[in-house]
Structure 1
Amino acid sequence: MRHAIFMPPLGELADPQAIVDIAIAAEESGWDGLFVWDHVLSPIDGQWEIADPWIVLAAAAANTSRIRLGPMVTPVPRRRILKLVRETATLDRLSRGRLILGLGTGDDRGREYSAVGENADPRRLGRLLDEGVEVLTALWAGDTVTHHGELFVGDVRAVPDSAHQPRIPLWFGTARHSGKPVERAARHDGIFPLTGDASKVAQIADTIEQLRGSREGFDIAVKTKPGTDAAEFAAAGATWAMHAFWPGDRPDQVLQVIKAGRPG
């Protein structure tokens, strides 16, 4: 099992230099990854400073050479797809192929849709996610794309330049343990269940194996308490433990967990 630091760039953890220090320490201490929330408004009550995930991930990438990096998760429906293509291809090139892109629909708990007049109907968001992934992967491949649906793209070729071949890995965040969200993830590279115990992870792992014929090359990432070994989740089929911090945690608390050493 691989172990990553999973943190919100909010509050004291919004300091870009602190995130760089955390990334460097994680790499030096043998950890496998650093993943950050992607929010423009806080889904958590309170007034929080919020750092842009793409800028802090770029800074982390420029100061490390081994650990995997990525947003976990980016809501495709609130992103301009061409901007997302450029950001991901550039970050993947900067990190020399270390980007893992976590995707999802997002929700309106922090008014990230309604505050700017956007419709947060879950079914619409699901359609936008599916269409966005289709367009994103086609643009990464260098195809000329025309798409008329919830998402509109007219005769565009991005000519991206990323380091990953054939493409950047896609994981999908979901609060569901069955149904369409799991089926969507099974068509790609990984899943990040936002809730659930080891029995739910085992249920997801069984479904993935049924849908794909094998779990080889597919990641199941789970949130765990910082510094734990997550053996129960590994036995259930998880491949990554995301040691999760929260708004209000301080950089020194994260560094303390990192410097205690990678579990396992």
Structure 2
Amino acid sequence: MRSAIWVPLFDALAEPAAVVRLAVEAEEAGWDGFFVWDHVNWRAPVRAVADPWIVMAAIVARTERLRVGPMVTPVARRRPAKLARETATLDQLSGGRLTLGVGLGSDRFGREYSALGDETDDRVRAELLDESLEILKAAWTGDPVDHQGKHFTVDGISFEPRPAQRPGVPIWVAGYTGKTRPMRRAAQYDGFFPVNLEHPDQVAEVAATIGSLRAPATTTYDIAVGLPPDADPAPYAEAGATWRLVAFGPNDLTVDEVRAVVRAGPGWDQDDVTE
């Protein structure tokens, strides 16, 4: 199991330079990744919100090994052509260290859809997500993309340069455990990020379900779990999780609070898990 820091870019952590310094320290302390929330607004008491893509670009410019990614970006509120350019450029800049976390997003935490005139219907957002992911996968090939869909059109446009990773940037799909459609969607891509995780048994269920949905020849797949800093990751690794994202809440978070966890290091190694 690999370990990452996962932070909201709110208030004290809306200062890009402070977050970049934390990421540099995380790499020095042996963390494998540094993931960030992707939001344009959040409910009170949060006031300041930073852009994750600008912050991630600054992080990869100052680090050499650390994997980065939005966890997760609500694809329904983004234009797939713009996202294709951003992901390929960031992956090139990082030398192939981007992981793209994707999901439906939600309007309930900051009215990010209703307050900005974006789609609030979950089923329509699911359509937008699926169609956008089709376009992204096609765009990352570098070949001309011809897509005539319900929501988007791409008429013979090539998206170069391609991402550094081949065939493209790994995609982790967020969703609720126990629900069929998110797991079917996740099985088509590179990883699953359960958003309602409460115990390791859910991870085992996810691993079994997604394993049954994927082609037998497919071997590499990630299951990422968000855990509090003091949670023991070993039972989750035994159940099939491949990444632990140490999670921090959105309210009253300080740089020093994150730094203390960063400097302590991952503190756990997969060799500690007995088979």
> AA paired with 1:198?
P
> AA paired with 2:107?
D
Tell me, in whole angstroms, the C-alpha distance in 1 between the residues paired with 2:23 and 2:154: 36
Q: Which residue matches 1:261?
A: 265
Distance 1:153-1:176 versus aligned 2 partners, 3 A rule = farther
Is the 2:177–2:202 Cα contact (8 Å) retained in structure 1?
A: no
Q: Which residue matches 2:207?
A: 205
For 1:237, which of 240, 244, 263 is the aligned residue?
A: 240
**Greater CA drift, 149-158 or 215-224:** 149-158
> AA paired with 2:44?
D
Q: What residue ranges of structure 1 are gaps of 5+ in the alignment? A: none
Tell me, in whole angstroms, the C-alpha distance in 2 between the residues paired with 1:176 and 1:108: 20
Is the 1:192–1:220 Cα contact (8 Å) retained in structure 2?
A: yes
Q: Which residue matches 1:153?
A: 154
Residues paired across the two proteins, number: 263
> AA paired with 2:106?
D
Q: Which residue matches 1:249?
A: 253
Residue 55 of structure 1 aligns to a residue whose secondary structure is helix
The alpha-carbon deviation at position 188 of structure 1 amounts to 0.8
> AA paired with 2:263?
K
Is the 2:38–2:71 Cα contact (8 Å) retained in structure 1?
A: yes
Q: Which residue matches 1:140?
A: 140
Residue 51 of structure 1 aligns to a residue whose secondary structure is coil
Structure 2 residue 97 is matched with structure 1 residue 98: yes
Q: What residue ranges of structure 2 are gaps of 5+ in the alignment? A: 269-275
The alpha-carbon deviation at position 204 of structure 1 amounts to 0.4
- Deviation string, structure 1 residues 10-53 (Cα, Å, up to 9, x no partner): 010111011111110110000010000000111x4324200000
Is the 1:62–1:94 Cα contact (8 Å) retained in structure 2?
A: yes
| Runs of 4+ that moved beyond 4 A | none
Tell me, in whole angstroms, the C-alpha distance in 2 between the residues paired with 1:237 and 1:123: 30
Distance 1:229-1:63 versus aligned 2 partners, 3 A rule = farther
Equivalent residue runs for 1:21-32 within 5 Å: 21-32=21-32
Q: Which residue matches 1:7?
A: 7
> AA paired with 2:212?
Q
**Greater CA drift, 150-159 or 124-133:** 150-159
The alpha-carbon deviation at position 235 of structure 1 amounts to 1.2
Is the 2:177–2:206 Cα contact (8 Å) retained in structure 1?
A: no
> AA paired with 1:165?
R
RMSD between superposed Cα atoms in Å: 1.4
Structure 2 residue 118 is matched with structure 1 residue 118: yes
Tell me, in whole angstroms, the C-alpha distance in 2 between the residues paired with 1:187 and 1:75: 18
Residue 119 of structure 1 aligns to a residue whose secondary structure is coil
Is the 1:208–1:215 Cα contact (8 Å) retained in structure 2?
A: no
Tell me, in whole angstroms, the C-alpha distance in 2 between the residues paired with 1:151 and 1:116: 20
Q: Quote the sequence identity (%).
A: 49
Q: How does the TM-score come out when normalised to structure 1?
A: 0.95
The alpha-carbon deviation at position 214 of structure 1 amounts to 7.1
> AA paired with 2:202?
K
**Greater CA drift, 172-181 or 206-215:** 206-215
- Deviation string, structure 1 residues 201-239 (Cα, Å, up to 9, x no partner): 111011111112377310000011115441111111111
Q: Which residue matches 2:44?
A: 45
Residue 18 of structure 1 aligns to a residue whose secondary structure is helix
Equivalent residue runs for 1:79-90 within 5 Å: 79-90=78-89
Q: Which residue matches 1:167?
A: 168
For 2:227, which of 224, 229, 239 is the aligned residue?
A: 224
> AA paired with 1:39?
H
Is the 2:37–2:72 Cα contact (8 Å) retained in structure 1?
A: yes
